[in-house]
Amino acid sequence: MKKFVSWNVNGLRACVQKGFEEVFKTLDADIFCVQETKLQQGQINLLLEGYHQYWNYAEKKGYSGTAVFTKEEPIAVFNGMDIAEHDTEGRLITLEFEKYYFITCYTPNAQDGLKRLEYRMKWEDDLRGYMLSLNKTKPVIICGDLNVAHNEIDLKNPKTNRGNPGFSDEERGKFSLLLESGFTDSFRFLYPDLTDAYSWWSYRFKAREKNVGWRIDYFVVSNSLNDRIADAKIHPEVFGSDHCPVELLIDL
């Protein structure tokens, strides 16, 4: 059984000051990945004994960025999806293992007024194509902050948020298309009707205290792995970021 954890840390240096390493040790994942590291190379020195570390940094300082910490050394590691317009923000790392591909992803936000929606749609199409190309060889597991609440059950206030970034019809439609292409939202696969299960809360209006949140952090897997999913968890008890970690237990 493999245990995978994903967490948007909203600035890894800040999160380290708020107990990141303790959370890391407690969750004891086979693969632990983080998004929105907001780092450049050499700005942090994490001593995570027993783990191989892989980093992808944005060209823009203090912005975006991803990292993967894995107990098992991968066969190969790729940063980005080999598409120039997508590969400057440190948003994607792919690890190849013998039986599967593992991707951590920090999906671009559509931004206020959906001003980056056109780019986001291009990202979604290219990422889906990238995942489908990998899936021809072996199954794919992708996790991270995918910056979309898929259905109304996935956020507290769907009616007032419709059309906002992360809950526009266009973004939700692209997530539906991804699932229709042969992939599964592991959490909803196991818990189709579970309400009030969120992974992100605004820092405003005491949103976390009231559990006024969104579920925008995912583990999505190739359909061929569905019968191997043992559990999918959200860890709202873990603080240190405006997101909490999400987890997948899977028999690989």
What amino acid positions are annotated as catalytic residues?
106, 145
**CB neighbourhood size of 96 (10 A):** 16
Closest CA to 199 of 8, 5, 4: 8
